[in-house]
A and B are shown apart, each in its own frame.
Chain A
Amino acid sequence: MTQAAAADAAGGVLPGAPGESLQVEVRSDGDLQTQDMNLNIGPQHPATHGVLRVVIDVDGERIVRAQPVIGYMHRAFEKLAEHRDYRQIIALVNRHDWLSAFCNEVGVALAVERMMELEVPERAQWIRTMMCEWNRIMNHLMFVSSFGLELGAITPMFYAFREREDIQNLMESATGGRLHFTYTRGGGLKDDLPLGFLKASEELVPLVRRRNQEYRDLLLGNEIFHARTKGVGALEPEVALDYGVTGPALHATGVAEDSRVTEPYLKYDEVDVTVPVAENGDSYDRFQVLLDRIDASCDIIEQCLGNLPAGPFAAKTPKQVKAPEGAIYVRTENPLGQGGYYLISDGGKQPYRLRMRTPSFNNVQMIPHLLEGSMLPDMIAIMGSVYFVVGDVDR
């Protein structure tokens, strides 16, 4: 039925116009006219954590069509980066994916260092590796909590923020920041660790492990949780690879692609990295992989604590870091998936172009594929478990 016809049927009131309200027209032959309802989820909606907008057509509670609309949080990071020197870029990339701040910093720093062929001190690399993993745990805790919240379980939110707070305090003692760390510098770090950091880390790791078990008790073993997530939003590995999905969402389908293993950076080649995988690729598996990854990160942190050598925390660099002319592509495994940093330099103190491949952007692409044919409440279970940060999508 066209819009004009619909207007005629509704007595000349256009759909969406004031007074149109929700009118149902009974046709002359007595059939109740039904129409797919168009529903805007977002950009301001409690389920979209951020400003992602999903336009869906629903038939009753079943979604027949879904279309994510991105760009509400576009802040032109790549353009901004062309007008910032490398140290300022590190402060900047903290902010597009605010939940993986440190991992983003490391990506940019690695690109600059590899172009400059800079030898980064061992100690700095180990500290970076450890911080990356702490950041990964913080990120995952956030998604554990928000997923629970979206399914209606409010308590995991408060539990996970309790652990996040502990980790944030730890990170703050070393970096000074709680969310935007700005701790990396081209050639190393801003400062060495403060006294007591290693001891606090050692004590925090078992605590995080124990608490991680609590999330399993609270959510993963819960029958209502099973009913809501098992078989919901199942993603096939081929489709995932076609869409360029990475991170926990990809691992849940059984593909163990992780650049910490396949293309190790920092000190990931000297530690044992376990990549947890699952089989079905549904919401339940994605969540399980997330919890398993927290444990895996705890293992890596413990190895870093044991291996931390003495030495300087930064290489000797000129006052103004300048990447030589050329281009480089660096892959890192960010908490949400694979981050790519394509840096083109003309030899100046600012990059000529910095292109970022962000995992959230690709993860969001598969939302229509997963949503079509599912129920409206499943939309929440799906969107909460593909793990994206809207700032990371739009940049």
Chain B
Amino acid sequence: MESILTFDSLLFTVVVKVLVIVAFFLVAALVVGYLEHKVMGHMQDRTGPMEAGLGPVKHGVGQLVADGAKFIQKEDIIPRSADRWVFAIAPGVALVPTLMILVVIPFGPGVWAENLDLGLFFALAASGVTVIGVLMAGWASANKFSLMGAIRDAAQLIAYELPLVLAGAAVALQAGTLSLVEIVERQNELVLFDTIPVWYGVPQVIGFGLFFVAAMAELNRPPFDMPIADSEIIAGHMTEYTGLRYAFFMLSEYAGMVVLSALAVVLFLGGWYPWPGADLPDGAWGAVIGTVTTIAKTVILAMVMTWARATFPRLREDQLQRMAWTILIPLALAQIVVIAIVIVVLP
């Protein structure tokens, strides 16, 4: 199946795809950021933003737009002893990988930018690049707190990329493909005991949990937010940043929430299919229903991340490492072994 964004002219196709991805990236980050404000507000017995609105719609829907406008106006400060070049480009480096993952994520039948045969591999590899931006920011800031934050982030990434990749590998093993589009299609065909159609989230429930926890850790979402723990190291690698560059870091966090949630939806929750074994109509209607379904599932997962943030205190760096190496990674390996055996025994 071809992407619906494909046109005769190659140049036109590329331009449209880039524009669509960037637009979706910005809008999704704003929407999820706004929802987090509201959901967390209500979990904390308050209302969240209520005033800034877009036109007649109030309830703070324009809050993040207003925040963005504020960030643009702020002075862009680069510390005197900072490594100017590295300091300046670090937020961009942290931002781009998130954008790149979006290229391969399928949102509906035909609604994707590129269907790579190595889609899963590409997504997981790209997600690891963010840490380079963080390390650059931490090192170039010439601030002890920034450096500590960056080092923590690097350590955390190494520890959590592994369970993330292993959980993804188990899915690829079961689906027999690395293409994200095909993983969704195969997933919809899975029928347990010849009667119950299920998604990979059910047989691989452990993998799903591991993937989700590892995604939260990789995004520095509480309770795994030690790299930016405000009460310990102020804001980690973001300590010295102001204005638009700071906003870039925030943007990559929220967009990262969307992207990794969407990836989890694609891998474990049936992608664009509303229920297991569902059949979508062909053509435009199928694309619309599929896209809405994927986005709804993604938002729900992102809100679960918010829920955890509103409830839990943060772990300690060494406890986090110990949890990754002694619990998550052995579990992930064991799961791969079990899946492999099952695939071989039950063809």
Which residues of A come within 8 Å of B, CB atoms? 18-22, 37, 39, 45-47, 61, 148-155, 157-159, 162, 218-219, 222, 224-225, 227-228, 375-380, 384
Interface string of B128-165 (1 = CB under 8 A from A): 00000000000100101101100000000000000000
Q: Which of A21, A45, A225, A227 contacts B234 (CB 8 A)?
A: A45
Q: Which residues of A contact B232 (CB under 8 A)?
A: 47, 376-377, 379-380
In the complex, are the beta carbons of A225 and B313 less than 8 A apart? yes
A229 to chain B, nearest CB (A): 9
A215 to chain B, nearest CB (A): 12
| Given A39-B144, A153-B311, A21:B81 Cβ within 8 A | yes
B310 an interface residue at 8 Å Cβ cutoff? yes
Our count of residue pairs bridging A and B at CB distance below 8 angstroms stands at 92
Q: How far is the CA of A148 from the CA of B223 in the complex (A)?
A: 12
Q: Which residues of A contact B309 (CB under 8 A)?
A: 154
B43 an interface residue at 8 Å Cβ cutoff? yes
Q: Which residues of B contact A380 (CB under 8 A)?
A: 231-232
In the complex, are the beta carbons of A219 and B83 less than 8 A apart? no
| Given A19-B81, A377-B232, A380-B231, A155:B314 Cβ within 8 A | no
B315 an interface residue at 8 Å Cβ cutoff? yes
In the complex, are the beta carbons of B231 and A18 less than 8 A apart? no
In the complex, are the beta carbons of B142 and A155 less than 8 A apart? no
Which residues of B come within 8 Å of A, CB atoms? 40, 43-46, 80-83, 139, 142, 144-145, 147-148, 222-223, 225-226, 229-234, 309-319
In the complex, are the beta carbons of A377 and B316 less than 8 A apart? yes
In the complex, are the beta carbons of B318 and A375 less than 8 A apart? yes
Q: How far is the CA of A241 from the CA of B249 in the complex (A)?
A: 48
Q: Which of A22, A218, A227 contacts B142 (CB 8 A)?
A: A22
| Given A21-B81, A377-B316, A377-B317, A155:B311 Cβ within 8 A | yes
Q: Which residues of B contact A39 (CB under 8 A)?
A: 144-145
What are 14 A-B pairs at a CB distance below 8 A?
A: A45-B234, A46-B230, A151-B231, A152-B222, A152-B225, A152-B231, A153-B311, A155-B44, A227-B315, A228-B314, A228-B316, A377-B229, A378-B316, A384-B231
| Given A18-B80, A21-B142, A151:B230 Cβ within 8 A | no
In the complex, are the beta carbons of A159 and B81 less than 8 A apart? no
| Given A39-B144, A152-B222, A159:B44 Cβ within 8 A | yes
In the complex, are the beta carbons of A150 and B45 less than 8 A apart? no
In the complex, are the beta carbons of A228 and B317 less than 8 A apart? no
- 3 pairs of A and B residues whose beta carbons are closest in the complex: A152-B314, A158-B44, A151-B313
Q: Which residues of A contact B147 (CB under 8 A)?
A: 22
B230 to chain A, nearest CB (A): 5
B114 to chain A, nearest CB (A): 38
| Given A22-B139, A152-B225, A158-B46, A228:B313 Cβ within 8 A | yes
Q: Which residues of B contact A20 (CB under 8 A)?
A: 81
| Given A150-B231, A152-B223, A219:B313 Cβ within 8 A | yes
Closest to A218 in B: B311
